[in-house]
Structure 1
Amino acid sequence: MSLQKFIVRTLLKLPDSILVKMSGGEPLAIDGRILDARCQLLAAQGARQPSMTTLDPVTARQVTSGGLKLLDDELSPGVEVRDITLPGPGGPLAARLYRPRGEAGPLPGMVFFHFGGCVIGDLDTCHVFCGMLAESARCAVLSVDYRLAPEHKFPAQVEDAIAAWRWAVDNADDLGFARGRIGVGGDSAGGNLSAVVAQAAKREGFTAPALQLLIYPVTDWAAKGGSMESCGNVYPLTAEIMDWFAGHYLNSASEMADPRVSPLNEADLSGLAPAIIVTAGFDPLRDQGAAYAEKLKSAGVSVTYRCEDSLPHAFTAMTGAIPAAKRACQKIAQDVEAALH
C-alpha cells in the first residue's frame, strides 16, 4: 500500500463527527438526504482540486485512475480473472473475464461496461466491483473496454457495446455463460450503454439480455433541473463535468434526443428485460435514473429500484474506503444473484 493510500484510509477511519468538522462543520444535506461523512470529507478535499473540466481527456484519465486507486478495495482472492480480446466494429476490444474461484460448469453471465462519461475509464475502473459481482452473485462477468471519446465519438461506444453483447451471447459456451441467463450491466455511462443494448435487442431482433443492471445510469443527456441542479456541484460528478463529457462524446447537442444517447427518450419500453436500477442520493443523475425506472414500470417491465441516499456518484469504486459504498455494492450483487439464479 502506498503512503498516500495509507494516509487516506487512516483519515477516513476517524469518527463521523470529526470528519464532518474537517469538512466544514455541518453535515451536508440536500433534498432531505445527508451525505455519508467520509464522502463529505472527500467532497471537501475534491473541491480544492482543479476540476476535470480544466484537463484534457488524456490527463483526466490519468488523474482519475490515480484517485480511484486510493479509494477502491482489493480484488478478492476468491475470484479468477482472465484478460481476453474480442472483435469490435472498430478493431479488437480488450475485455476481462471474472469467475468465482473453483466454480465449474456454466454460470449465469453478465456483460459489464464501466463508468466514465464515455470519455474516461478502462478495465481497471470497475475491476474490484466486477470481482464482487462474480463472487457474491455467483456469476461470470465479462467487463468490456469500449472505445472512448473524443478519439471515437458517438456512436462508436454504442456500436462496441452492442457488438460485445452479441459476441458474448454467440460465445457463451467458451465464456462459461449459462445460455438464457446472461445479463447486461454497467454504471453511469456503462449503465447508459446497457440500457441502449437492451433497447437495441428489441428493435433489431437479436438475443435480449435476461437482466439489465443499471447503476446510476445516464438516461437523459439533456436533463435539467431536479437533481441536476440540487446536486450539480457535488463530488465527484458535477453538472459542469456532465457538460464536459457531452462535449467530447457527442458530435452535436442535437444527438441528445436520440434514444441511443438518451434511452429515456425511447417511446415504447414494453417487453424489455427486467431491470435492477440503483441510484445515488448525492448525484446529479439521480432523478433521471428514477425516471427511467418509473417509465419501465409503466411499460410493464419488472423493476427493482433503490436509491442509496447517503452516497454520491461512482460509489462502486469506493469500496475500500467507504463502508456504506461496500454495503451498497454487496446489496447489488445480492439482487443480481436473485435475478439470474
Structure 2
Amino acid sequence: MSLQKFIVRTLLKLPDGILVKMSGGKPLAIDGRILDARAQLLAVQGARQPSITTLDPATARSATSEGLSLLDGAPRSGVEVQPLHVPGPGGPLDARLYLPAGSTGPLPGLVFFHFGGCVIGDLDTCHTFCSMISDIAGIAILNVAYRLAPEHKYPAQVHDAVAAYQWAQANAEDLRMIPGRIGVGGDSAGGYLSAVVAQEAKRQGFAAPAVQLLIYPVTDWGWKGGSMESCADVYPLTAEIMEWFGAHYLNAPSEADDVRVSPMKEPDLSGLAPAIVVTAGFDPLRDQGKAYADKLKAAGVSVTYACEDSLPHAFTAMTGVIPAANAACEKIARDVGAALR
C-alpha cells in the first residue's frame, strides 16, 4: 500500500463528527438527503483539485485512475479472473471473465460495462465491483472495455456494447454461462449502454437480456432541471463534467434526441428485460435514473428500484473507504444474483 493510500484510508476511519468538522463544520444536505461524512470529506478535498474538464481526455483518464485507486476496495479473494478479448466491430475489445471460487458447470452470467461518460475508465475501473458481484451472486461476469471518445465518438460505444453482449450469448458455453440466463449491466455510462442493449434486443430481434442492471445510468444526455441543478456541483460528477463528456462523445448536440443516446426518449418500453435500477442521492443523474425506472414500470416492465440516499455518483469504486458504499454494492450483488437465479 502506498503512503498516500495509507493516509487517505487512515483519515477516513475517523468518527463522522470529526470528518464533518474537517469538511466545513456541518453535514452537507441537498434535497432532504445528508451526504455520508466520508464522501463529504472526499468532496471537499476533490474540490481543491483541477476538474477533469481542464484536462485533455488522456490526462483525465490517468488522473481518474490514480484517484480511484486510493478509494476502491480489494478484489474478492478466490474469484478466478481470466483476461480475454471480445471481437468488436472496430477490432478486439479487452475483457475479463470473473468466475466464483470453486464454481463448476455453467452459471448465470452478466456482461458489464464500466462508468466514465464514454470518455474515461477501463477494466480496472470496475474490477473490484465485478469480483464482488461474481463472488456474492455466484455468477460469471464478463467485464468489457468498449472504445472511448473522442478517439471513437458515438455510435462506436453502442456498437461495441451490443456486439459484446451478442458474443457472450453466442459463446456462453466457453464463458461457462447459461444461455438465456445472461444479463447486461453497468454503472453511469455503462448503465446507459446496458439500457440501450436491452432496447436494441427488442428493436433488432436478438435474445433479450435476462436482466438489465442500471446503476446511476445516463438515460437522457439532454436532461435539465431537478438533480442536474441541485447536485450540479457535487463531487465527483458535476453538471459541467457531464457537458464535457457529452461534447467529447457526441458528434453534435442534436444526437441527444436519438434513442440510442438517450434511451429515455424511446416511446415504447414494453417487453424489455426486467430491470434493477439504483441511483445515488448526491448525483446529477439521480432524477433521470428514477424517471427511467418509473417509465419502465409504467410500460409493464418488472423493476426493482433503490436510491442510495447518502452516497455520491461512482460509489461502486469507493468500497475501500466508505462502508455505506461497500454495503450498497453488496446489496446490488445480492439482487443481481436473485434476479439471475
What is the TM-score with the length of structure 1 in the denominator? 1.00
Q: Considering only aligned residues, what root-mean-square deviation do their CA atoms show, in Å?
A: 0.4
State the distance in 1 between where 2:291 and 2:185 align: 18
State the distance in 1 between where 2:118 and 2:180 align: 29
- Counterpart for residue 27 of structure 1: 27
- Counterpart for residue 132 of structure 1: 132
- Counterpart for residue 279 of structure 1: 279
Amino acid at match of 1:5: K
- Counterpart for residue 211 of structure 1: 211
Task: Describe the superposition over 1:185-233 as per-residue Cα deviations: whole angstroms up to 9, x where unpaired.
Answer: 0000000000000000000001110000000000000001100000000
Task: Describe the superposition over 1:31-55 as per-residue Cα deviations: whole angstroms up to 9, x where unpaired.
Answer: 0000000000000000111111000
Q: Do the aligned partners of 2:211 and 2:339 also contact (CA within 8 Å) in 1? A: yes
State the distance in 2 between where 1:107 and 1:12 align: 37
Whether 1:303 aligns to 2:303 is yes
State the distance in 2 between where 1:225 and 1:184 align: 29
State the distance in 1 between where 2:76 and 2:218 align: 29
Task: Describe the superposition over 1:149-207 as per-residue Cα deviations: whole angstroms up to 9, x where unpaired.
Answer: 00000000000000000000000000000111110000000000000000000000011
- Counterpart for residue 266 of structure 2: 266
- Counterpart for residue 115 of structure 1: 115
- Counterpart for residue 242 of structure 2: 242
Q: Secondary structure at the match of 2:251?
A: coil
Once the two structures are superposed, the pairs formed by residues 297-336 of structure 1 within 5 Å of their partners are 297-336=297-336
State the distance in 2 between where 1:267 and 1:77 align: 44
Q: Secondary structure at the match of 1:112?
A: strand
State the distance in 2 between where 1:104 and 1:325 align: 30
State the distance in 2 between where 1:75 and 1:129 align: 7
Q: Secondary structure at the match of 1:108?
A: strand
Unpaired runs of 5+ in structure 2? none
State the distance in 1 between where 2:61 and 2:225 align: 28
State the distance in 2 between where 1:259 and 1:291 align: 15
- Counterpart for residue 338 of structure 2: 338
Q: CA deviation at 1:58?
A: 0.1
State the distance in 1 between where 2:198 and 2:310 align: 29
Q: Secondary structure at the match of 1:153?
A: coil
State the distance in 1 between where 2:59 and 2:26 align: 34
Task: Describe the superposition over 1:228-287 as per-residue Cα deviations: whole angstroms up to 9, x where unpaired.
Answer: 000000000000000000000000000000010000000000000000000000000000
Q: Secondary structure at the match of 2:174?
A: helix
Q: Secondary structure at the match of 2:123?
A: coil
State the distance in 1 between where 2:176 and 2:123 align: 20
Amino acid at match of 2:264: L
Unpaired runs of 5+ in structure 1? none
State the distance in 2 between where 1:127 and 1:135 align: 12
Once the two structures are superposed, the pairs formed by residues 152-231 of structure 1 within 5 Å of their partners are 152-231=152-231
Q: Secondary structure at the match of 1:71?
A: coil
Q: CA deviation at 1:78?
A: 2.3
State the distance in 2 between where 1:261 and 1:80 align: 34
Q: Secondary structure at the match of 1:41?
A: helix
Give the paired residue count: 341
Q: Secondary structure at the match of 1:175?
A: coil
My pick for the range that moved more, 77-86 or 148-157, is: 77-86
State the distance in 2 between where 1:86 and 1:130 align: 17
Q: Do the aligned partners of 2:181 and 2:210 also contact (CA within 8 Å) in 1? A: yes
Q: CA deviation at 1:76?
A: 1.3
Amino acid at match of 1:178: I
State the distance in 2 between where 1:290 and 1:75 align: 29
- Counterpart for residue 96 of structure 1: 96
Q: CA deviation at 1:101?
A: 1.1
Q: Do the aligned partners of 2:169 and 2:180 also contact (CA within 8 Å) in 1? A: no
- Counterpart for residue 151 of structure 2: 151
Q: Do the aligned partners of 2:172 and 2:178 also contact (CA within 8 Å) in 1? A: yes
Amino acid at match of 2:219: T
Amino acid at match of 1:38: R
Q: Secondary structure at the match of 1:49?
A: coil
Q: Secondary structure at the match of 2:124?
A: coil
